[in-house]
């Protein structure tokens, strides 16, 4: 459990602190307890004291770094309590028991999921490479080499310590998780993972055995771990994911304070619809690495949108970049429309405009990430801000059409906007985005768009 300010004070020096100027260091201790200052800012504290206090004040769930990805580090069970900090990643699944053509087909789908949404790069982050005991080491290593060329992180699912060591050598330098420790092989697998400096995934027959196995690995001095969630049934998998998280965050059991791996592909047995539903479930509760049979664009788009919503600070609304967004092949000769930079507003409005098939240049100005009415009430959306945006973006030289659609909910800005933009024809659009389709088509038929 994290120490409180007074607990830190008992272990801190009583000399004058250069950081806070407090003779008793009380202010410094309270700042450390609140997470406002790191412990090593105190010039009087010994390295041993810093090490002990750092461990005591660390989050109940350890943060594990694999390449550019961070896992764990969570402090709350629910997003409404405090922002979740480490978003899960999605992994495609291949194994050495698959025919070569099936392996190639699955791997070919991985690069297709690669796009940007609201400033975030969304792609298949990892590929899980599974080994079956009846297959030879050469077959597994050949598949590992093939996956290595995909440029993604790799999860080596292998319980054979000798083969795992060879596979790790083959993918040296890439982001790798070795997932294969259990009650019978954890010592050998721990040595392999520790020597390669990669995190180790741990599984067991039941939750009690899992706790004992993780504790045994910790006793060997290795704490770069993932907990592989039960894959016998959907019910057991979900129950274990929740129990492990609750034990760490609510009960202070740091033995379960590690990120998790969820084998969704084993739970759904080829049902792609159930796989998408379960991936959504474990995105919310509580998968860190979610392994799916395959990832295609149809699955990825809703999953990544859900993940972006869940793992975004609710106090910081998602915004799109201000600029010109040509829709339906719009060019300089086509009409303009404007709205705010709140991501939800942008996607709703742009979606309806795209559905109309009418070319429109959508102008997105900086409105602080607020919705239309909220931005207007806060002074973020006004005739002045719209006119300033058009001037700063040099819209006049980029777009020859001088018709601008104004959101219907801020029709009150029309007169002032006409005064600031005398060369423009200001048209009041409907109040609701769903009405844009008919509105734009009517304008097109009338020769106004």
In the chain, where the domains are located = 5-56, 63-310, 323-445
Euclidean distance between CA atoms 396 and 373, whole angstroms: 27
| Assigned CATH for 323-445 | 3.40.50.11600
End-to-end alpha-carbon separation of the chain, Å?
63
79 contacts 310 by C-beta, under 8 angstroms: yes
Q: d(Cα 28, Cα 19) in Å, to the nearest integer?
A: 7
Question: Span 303-330, mean pLDDT?
Answer: 88
Q: Does domain 63-310 have CATH number 3.20.20.20?
A: yes
Confidence of residue 203 (pLDDT cuts 50, 70, 90): very high
282 in Cβ contact with 264 (< 8 Å): yes
Q: What percent of the chain has pLDDT over 90?
A: 75
**pLDDT for position 55:** 67
- Predicted confidence (pLDDT) at residue 298 exceeds the cutoff of 90: no
56-95 confidence digits (pLDDT tens)? 667 789 999 999 999 999 999 998 888 898 999 999 999 9
At residue 134, the pLDDT reads 92
pTM over 0.75: yes
For the cut 80, the answer to whether the pLDDT of residue 385 exceeds it is yes
Average pLDDT over residues 298-313: 88
Beta carbons of 244 and 207 less than 8 angstroms apart: yes
Structure-token pair, residue 255: 């033995």
pLDDT value of position 26: 65
DSSP string, 392-447: HTTHHHH----EEEE-GGGGGGHHHHHHH-TTSEEEEPPSSGGGHHHHHHHHHHTT
Which residues, including other chains, have CB under 8 Å from residue 292's CB and lie 6 or more apart?
Answer: 90, 91, 92, 93, 264, 265, 275, 279, 299
| Sign of the dihedral defined by the CA atoms of residues 286, 189, 218, 35, in that order | negative
Domain spanning 5-56: which superfamily? Electron transport complex subunit B, putative Fe-S cluster (1.10.15.40)
Q: What is the mean pLDDT of residues 196-210?
A: 96
Mean pLDDT value of segment 262-287: 93
């Amino acid at each position: 459990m994290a120490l409180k300010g007074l607990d830190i004070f008992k272990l801190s020096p009583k000399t004058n602190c250069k950081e806070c100027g407090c003779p008793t260091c009380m202010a410094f201790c309270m700042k450390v307890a609140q997470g406002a200052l790191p412990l090593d800012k105190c010039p009087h504290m010994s390295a041993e004291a810093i090490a002990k206090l750092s461990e005591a004040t660390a989050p109940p769930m350890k943060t594990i770094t694999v390449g550019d990805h961070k896992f764990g580090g969570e402090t709350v069970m629910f997003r409404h309590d405090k922002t979740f900090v480490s978003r899960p990643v999605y992994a495609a699944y291949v194994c050495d028991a698959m025919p070569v053509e099936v392996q190639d087909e699955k791997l070919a789908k991985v690069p297709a999921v690669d796009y940007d949404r609201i400033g975030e790069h969304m792609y298949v982050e990892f590929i899980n490479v599974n080994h079956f005991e009846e297959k030879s080491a050469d077959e597994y290593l050949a598949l590992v080499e093939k996956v290595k060329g995909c440029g993604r992180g790799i999860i080596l699912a292998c319980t054979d310590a000798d083969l795992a060591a060879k596979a790790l050598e083959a993918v040296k330098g890439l982001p790798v998780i070795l997932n294969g420790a259990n009650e019978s092989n954890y010592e050998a697998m721990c040595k392999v993972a520790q020597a390669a400096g990669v995190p180790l995934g741990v599984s067991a027959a039941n939750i009690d055995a899992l706790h004992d196995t993780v504790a045994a690995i910790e006793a060997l001095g290795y704490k770069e771990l993932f907990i592989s969630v039960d894959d016998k049934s959907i019910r057991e998998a979900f129950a274990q994911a929740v129990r492990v998280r609750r034990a760490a965050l609510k009960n202070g059991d740091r033995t379960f304070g590690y990120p998790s791996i969820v084998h969704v592909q084993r739970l759904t047995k080829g049902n792609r619809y159930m796989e998408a539903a379960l991936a959504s479930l474990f995105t919310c509760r509580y998968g860190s690495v979610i392994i799916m049979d395959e990832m295609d664009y149809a699955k990825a788009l809703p999953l990544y949108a859900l993940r972006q919503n869940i793992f975004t600070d609710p106090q910081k609304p998602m915004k799109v970049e201000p600029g010109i967004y040509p829709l339906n092949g719009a060019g300089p000769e086509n009409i303009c429309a404007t709205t705010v930079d709140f991501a939800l507003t942008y996607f709703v409005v742009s979606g309806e405009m795209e559905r109309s098939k009418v070319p429109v240049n959508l102008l997105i100005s900086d409105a602080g990430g607020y919705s239309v009415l909220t931005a207007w009430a806060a002074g973020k959306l006004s005739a002045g801000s719209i006119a300033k945006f058009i001037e700063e973006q040099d819209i006049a030289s980029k777009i020859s059409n001088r018709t601008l659609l104004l959101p219907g909910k801020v029709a009150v800005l029309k007169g002032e906007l006409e005064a600031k933009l005398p060369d423009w024809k200001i048209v009041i659009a409907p109040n609701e985005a769903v009405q844009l389709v008919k509105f734009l088509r009517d304008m097109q038929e009338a020769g106004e768009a």
